[in-house]
């Protein structure tokens, strides 16, 4: 499998390495890109691995360039993996028409509707193919994996953690789309990728999934939300996920921050505490 990985660029970073890869994805059926920070501790063996899912319009570069995560990850011995946010060049009519659907907006699910279903299979890509690459070819430990993300990627982190029990030992999010079945972004994506059956939508809605769960993460979930976020009222609904966690008996730390918006200045401010949150759980 290693011969399938093409190194786009590699950089020394906090005594570890920051690498950007391209490979022929069997799951997607197209070339995919992802980025990896490997901490210096990987020279001694496998290390905990933390997958980061980025938001709408982002790429595999966004997190590694903007979040400022590598310094603390190197200190904690965490490997960081961030995929692209959708297939590129799938040739689906209209895939580049809107910023919130199609290219750059895969929503971390496997599409059911044609013509999207052929290539738009981000759930399988992240949870199977990328996970296998990170924990076989690369030095991630499959028994110590966590997941987190931002906005659309926060939705992805929460839903994939809930839909794949045992795969991820820790989960957190920044300003996630926490109830996509009831917000414009989610309604657009779900109707386009999944069709009109709302029971299928519920299977990819973190609040709906959590409401039916029974404390899947007993050591807690962490969410940070800025109160100056322009998308908070219309798109994000953290209060719906909070209520679902209460119903499920799920420990949740939902931190609301005055003055912070939806962008990477907010994310970078609280990045260290998320890395520390995951490290505590993944190193046990």
Exposure b/e, 60-93, CB count within 10 A at least 16 = b: bbbbbebbebbebbbbbbbbbbbbbbbbbebebe
Whose tokens are 């991630």? That residue is 140
Active site residue 96: no
Say if strands 221-226 and 252-257 run parallel, antiparallel, or are unpaired. parallel
Catalytically annotated residue among 119, 150, 262, 278? 262
Active site residue 155: no
Active site residue 124: no
Catalytically annotated residue among 86, 229, 274, 278? 229
Cis omega (within 30 of 0) for bond into 92: no
Write the DSSP string, 210-263. HHT-S-S-TT-EEEEEETT-TTIIIII-HHHHHHHHHHHT--EEEEEETT--SS
Q: Which residues contact 199 (CB under 8 A, 6 or more apart)?
A: none
**Rounded distance between C-alpha atoms, residue 266 and residue 259, angstroms:** 9
Cβ atoms of residues 111 and 29 within 8 Å = no
Catalytically annotated residue among 151, 170, 172, 207? 151
Cβ atoms of residues 218 and 251 within 8 Å = yes
The catalytic residues are 151, 229, 262
């Amino acid at each position: 499998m290693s011969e399938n990985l093409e190194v786009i660029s590699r950089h020394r970073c906090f005594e570890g390495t920051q690498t950007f890869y391209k490979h022929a994805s069997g799951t997607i059926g197209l070339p995919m890109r992802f980025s990896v920070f490997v901490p210096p501790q990987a020279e001694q063996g496998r290390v905990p691995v933390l997958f980061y899912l980025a938001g709408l319009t982002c790429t595999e570069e966004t997190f590694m360039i903007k979040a400022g995560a590598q310094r603390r990850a190197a200190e904690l011995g965490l490997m960081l993996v961030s995929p692209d946010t959708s297939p590129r060049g799938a040739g689906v009519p209209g895939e580049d028409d809107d910023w919130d659907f199609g290219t750059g907006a895969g929503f971390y699910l496997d599409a059911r509707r044609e013509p999207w279903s052929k290539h738009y299979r981000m759930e399988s890509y992240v949870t199977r193919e990328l996970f296998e690459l990170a924990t076989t070819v690369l030095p991630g430990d499959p028994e110590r994996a966590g997941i987190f993300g931002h906005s659309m990627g926060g939705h992805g982190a929460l839903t994939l953690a809930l839909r794949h029990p045992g795969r991820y030992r820790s989960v957190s999010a920044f300003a996630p789309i926490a109830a996509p079945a009831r917000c414009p972004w989610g309604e657009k994506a779900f109707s386009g990728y999944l069709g009109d059956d709302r029971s299928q939508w519920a299977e990819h809605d973190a609040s709906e999934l959590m409401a039916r769960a029974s404390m899947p993460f007993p050591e807690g979930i962490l969410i940070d939300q800025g109160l100056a976020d322009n998308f908070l009222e219309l798109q994000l609904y953290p209060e719906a996920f909070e209520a679902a966690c209460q119903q499920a008996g799920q420990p949740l730390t939902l931190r609301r921050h005055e003055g912070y918006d939806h962008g990477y200045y907010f994310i970078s401010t609280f990045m260290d505490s998320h890395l520390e949150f995951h490290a505590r759980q993944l190193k046990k």
